A = this chain, B = another copy of it.
Amino acid sequence: MTQIVDCGFTRFGRREDDLVSMSVEPVKEIVEKNRDVIDFVVVSNGYSGEYNDVSGLNNLITTRLSLDEVPSFRLDNTSGSGGAALLASQSLIESGIANNVLVIGTEKMTSVVTKKSSRIIASLLNPEERKAGLSLPSLAAFFAKGYMEKYGAKRESLAEVSVKNHFNASMNPIAQFQKPVDLEAVMSSRVIADPLRIYEFCPISDGASAVLMASDGTAGSFSGKAVKVSATALASSSSSVSERATSLTIDCVKNSAKKALSKAELSPDQIDVAELHDMATILEIAESEDIGFFKKGEGWKAVLDSETSLQGSIPINPSGGLNSRGHALGATGIAQAAEIYNQLTGSCGPRQVKNAARGLSVNMAGFGYNASTTIYEVI
């Protein structure tokens, strides 16, 4: 079994430092404390070439950290890179190839103008759909319309996800957005893809985050608290969205959650805290259903009933989520893992979920192309 024994973050948002400098910031202390035992570095990053004109990022990072002789690679799975990197790191440890893997998630997106950034992200679309002018925001809007129509969801329920996540982020010192917003502010913000508004989408972000993963055999030798990674599962769907456009279930989320929960021998109601992939507000609701926290079509009611708030039955995105912590693509899945680590070790201050002993994170690539679910437990 694999454990997480430490974590680190940069502040998310628009940053002035370059990609390599930003990537090493969250791990400087971790490396100082554990220099002699880190035997692999996995870098989760989707677009260093496209955004930053940098390749071989893993090696540039190990050199900057004076970990020159530690083997490394870069793992990419677009916005789902982090979850896949957790899986790959776990497999390095459980196969005995490595003992202590430093996993760094990083992306610097503000180095290009917004239009170019949108074009870079659109490069993950199926070529036919890209030519037809589809975009991730338009797919989310289409999904939101279908969901509201089929399940009679109130428009406000979607916006309330943004209100909740902004509130949580206001207590997270590394979050991109630090101010709460009210329902009126969300509902009167600019329309990006009707009916969804700008406060309901994740921003463009720079940021890096890291976790140090260790084998059972070595985890005891670290000074900090440890959290068990009970299961990680990656599941895939078609990258041809039109083939599944009428579905309001995100199959890859459903399948990865089912697989991970089964591996961990847990049911959804045993999870105390979750970080989900809320690229748009509607996706947090759909995912909360597909994981099994709520019945299909009832996730929107749970938001209105505050079931997903910090004091609710299943607090979702205490970090602020992609929506408000920020979504630096390759960093996101690792930031989710680091937030759950902090929650399970009781280090979250005012946004701490009480008695959090079991956590779950979902990191998604593309618009439901693939997703990973990771499950964490206190030891």
Contacts and interface: CB of A to CB of B under 8 A. Distances in A.
18 contacts: A47-B55, A55-B121, A55-B124, A56-B365, A59-B124, A60-B239, A62-B239, A63-B239, A69-B235, A71-B234, A72-B234, A74-B75, A74-B77, A76-B76, A87-B97, A91-B92, A91-B95, A94-B97
A365 B84 contact: no
A72 B370 contact: yes
A356 interface: no
Interface in A325-373: 365-366, 369-370
A120 interface: yes
Interface string A92-119: 1111110000000000000000000000
B123 A63 contact: no
A20, A46, A69 — which one has the most chain B CB atoms within 10 A of its CB? A69
A151 interface: no
A311 interface: no
A78 B90 contact: no
A240 interface: yes
Contacts of A87: 97
Interface residues of A, number: 56
A88 interface: yes
A20 to B, nearest CB: 8
A56 to B, nearest CB: 3
B123 A49 contact: yes
Nearest to A46: B55
Contacts of A124: 55-56, 59
A50 interface: yes
A317 interface: no
A141 B170 CA distance: 56
Interface in A202-249: 234-240
A92 B60 CA distance: 25
Given A72-B236, A91-B92, A91-B95, 18 more contacts: A49-B120, A50-B55, A56-B77, A56-B78, A56-B124, A56-B125, A59-B239, A59-B369, A60-B127, A62-B239, A68-B238, A71-B235, A73-B84, A73-B234, A75-B88, A87-B97, A88-B91, A90-B97
Interface string A36-71: 000000000011011001111011101100001111
Contacts of A234: 71-73
A255 interface: yes
A62, A77, A123 — which one has the most chain B CB atoms within 10 A of its CB? A77
A93 B96 CA distance: 11
A236 B70 contact: yes
A313 B70 CA distance: 33
A126 interface: yes
Nearest to A92: B91
